[in-house]
Amino acid sequence: MSVNFDTPRGSLEAVRGVDIEIPAGMSVGVVGESGSGKTVMCRAAMGLLQGSTVNRTGTVIFDGHELTAMSKEQVRELFGSGMAMIFQDPLTALNPVRRIGAQVSEGLRIRLGMSKSDAMARSKELLELVRIPNAAAVLKSFPYQLSGGMRQRVMIAIAIACNPKLLFADEPTTALDVTVQAQILQLLRELREDLKMSMVLVTHDLGVVAGNTDYVAVMYAGEVVEYAPTKKLFADMRMPYTEALLDSIPRVDHKSGTRLSVIAGRLPDPTNRPAGCGFAPRCKYAQDKCTTDHPELKTDPDGHIYRCWFPIGEAL
């Protein structure tokens, strides 16, 4: 799948030929720095990007349905019960003037056709499921009366309300502090197991991915640059970008006072992509070929996918 935006500066290629599979019941992490196309990819997959400037090409197959060939109406039928999304910022993803109860019960009433009172009762159960204390009172509150963590729990309750088969969690913990992050991730993990959902967990935090996913896709400049089972990826990474990303995380076993390594430079301009590898100017292993030829995806015999001419661990 690819997504292009028409901009005054030309066509902006936000997602470029991403091809990943999310196995049923599994959790796939999508990591990458800001602007690498993670969010756009998720929204495009669900068909939530709207407007005349959006061009989505390629295919999205969900549960045997080819979403790009379906009408808006048909895709809408899948929302909620088929696919659901948790949004990045729980503050803006909740309507400030409507009570929590109305917002949680909305999906139940639209998708499952529940009566108002049934939907409210179920909403209370959902809030309890996401461990919100005093659920009855929270149902009657407005979003601004809740803390960030509570709001994110409400978002999760809304997303899982209709038992989706696939849950997109778009940086569900970015807006939260670390202790709450851990609770939310724990909650997501448990819910996923209980409800047998597949999950796409989008984050820029490799640490979050390591503990919560079965597979990882690393995105860079709108492309998937590495895809492997989580354990394998961390044990044996092939893509220099992934390594650089991991190196930029502070580690306990570093001597104190060690300078945190950063990835110098920025993402390439998505309206004017370089001919070679997008990461080449920032890559410490880059060679001449990297700046002239765009690397294709290569697959190791064990299924480990990467996009690099000179992957780590190969004789140069």
Partner 1 sequence: MFLAVFGSLLPFEHWTFVYEDALGVTPFSPGHILGTDNNGYDLLTSVIAGTRMSIFIAITAVGLGGLLGSALGITAAFIRGKVDLVLSTAFNVGLAIPNLVLALALVSVLATNVDMTEVVPIWRRVTVLVISLTIVLIPILGRIARGATLTWSGREFVTAARSMGMRDMQIIRKHIVPNVLPALIAVAFLAVGVVIIAEASLSLLGVGIPDGGSWGGMIARGRNDLEYSPHVLYIPVIFLAITVISTNQIGEVLRGRLDGRESKV
Please give the residue ranges that form the binding site for partner 1 (CB under 8 A).
43, 46, 48, 50-52, 76-80, 83-85, 87-89, 92-98, 102, 106-107, 110-111, 143-144, 155, 158
Characterize the bridge pairing of strands 215-220 and 166-170. unpaired
Q: How far apart are CA 41 and CA 270, in angstroms?
A: 14
**Please, which residue, 37 or 268, has the CB nearer to partner 1?**
37
Which residues are paired to 306 by β-bridges? Answer: 226, 298
Q: How far apart are CA 48 and CA 45, in angstroms?
A: 8
**Please, which residue, 48 or 182, has the CB nearer to partner 1?**
48
**Please, which residue, 98 or 196, has the CB nearer to partner 1?**
98
Residue 87 C-beta: closest distance to partner 1, Å: 5
Residue 164 C-beta: closest distance to partner 1, Å: 10
Q: How far apart are CA 283 and CA 290, in angstroms?
A: 9
Q: Sign of the CA dihedral 210, 174, 219, 241?
A: negative
Q: Which long-range contacts (CB under 8 A, 24 or more apart) does 72-81 make?
A: 72/47, 75/47, 79/46, 79/111, 80/107, 80/110, 80/111, 80/161, 80/162, 80/164, 81/111, 81/112, 81/162, 81/163, 81/164, 81/165
Residue 4 C-beta: closest distance to partner 1, Å: 18
**Please, which residue, 80 or 149, has the CB nearer to partner 1?**
80
**Please, which residue, 155 or 280, has the CB nearer to partner 1?**
155
Residue 266 C-beta: closest distance to partner 1, Å: 26
Give burial (CB, 10 Å; 0-12/13-18/19+) of 217.
buried
Q: How far apart are CA 87 and CA 192, in angstroms?
A: 17
Residue 41 C-beta: closest distance to partner 1, Å: 15
**Please, which residue, 82 or 295, has the CB nearer to partner 1?**
82
Residue 42 C-beta: closest distance to partner 1, Å: 10
